[in-house]
Structure 1
């Protein structure tokens, strides 16, 4: 499938790996794919403020990935999520819910390390989450549905938007919907 990716789409995927490494994340997530698209300026034609989107993703991570619907449901029960987060962070430190899981060493990584073999940049392999893999798969489906013979950044963005979750919610909050992205970027 990767051979169908345009140069920019490949840069997005490799940029997502870089984003994950820079953030100390054990895996590449949908969020990293979006941050990579932002860094490449893919959403600039839509008038998206890169800094604001990145800040909203950080805020969502701080909430532990809890969606707006979850937050509203808790508010309906009289629970102020902001207050809960503040107390957790008072006790456990800033970003306690956003702390990455400890990196697991796989048997293969242990063997490569023991043999003195590492990845070319020395940082090791960062796997994609199932959700991020599904975005890549969905981008192929979108490309095929549009009868495109390549997978570009538009397909990746549309795949991110089409999947429910924090990334699509943040994009929606910034006016990026499937329709707006398809119309503005397909031209």
Structure 2
């Protein structure tokens, strides 16, 4: 699958795996992909995110908050609150019984070198091909990874959209830069 990836896209995938390893996470997640996309310099995705004024520190804080909610987005937590389920209260009780941060903890032991991408990250990699083909591009760049990440609901896409970097916003910036 990676034969169509540009060097920048391969660097994002490799960087996400390295970020997971540094954190001791057993799985590479969408969160790792987002953080590497934000850290890029001179890449199409990083330039688009910078042009939109995305604040890396704010993204990290919001992703950490989503991790503490067990991977629920703010929208998910609000929807549950609408039917009387207080996610913060549930998280508090779980952490009281099992330890702080337990809902966001990943299993330890297996390393990312085993090719361990969670379902969300795998789907981003798969959708990136569809995004590239849909745009008429022959190769998959880091911008396609970013658009693929933004094309499905979830905490990572929600956090970026809250920063003004929704799918349409990023697409417009990329078209202007082309």
Query: TM-score surpassing 0.5?
Result: yes
Distance 1:98 1:181 in 2: 28
Q: TM-score w.r.t. structure 2 length? A: 0.86
Unmatched runs of 5 consecutive residues or more in structure 2: none
CA-to-partner distance for each residue in 1:111-137, whole Å, 9 max, x for gaps?
A: xxxxxxxxxxxx843411232122111
Unaligned 5+ residue runs, structure 1? 106-122
Query: Of 118, 123, 128, which aligns to 1:134?
Result: 123
Encode CA deviations 1:19-69: one digit per residue, 9 max, x unaligned: 111121111111111111011151222210001001100100000012333
Larger Rg: 1
Deviation, structure 1 residue 78: 3.4
- After superposition, the Cα gap between the structure-2 partners of 1:157 and 1:124, relative to the gap in structure 1 and judged at 3 Å, is closer
- SS of equivalent residue, structure 2 residue 114: coil
State the partner residue of 1:38. Answer: 38
How many positions carry a matched residue from both structures? 170
Pair 1:60-2:66 in alignment: yes
Q: In 2, distance between residues paired with 1:94 and 1:44?
A: 33
Structure 1 or 2: more helix by fraction: 2
Cα 1:5–1:49 shift into 2, 3 Å: same
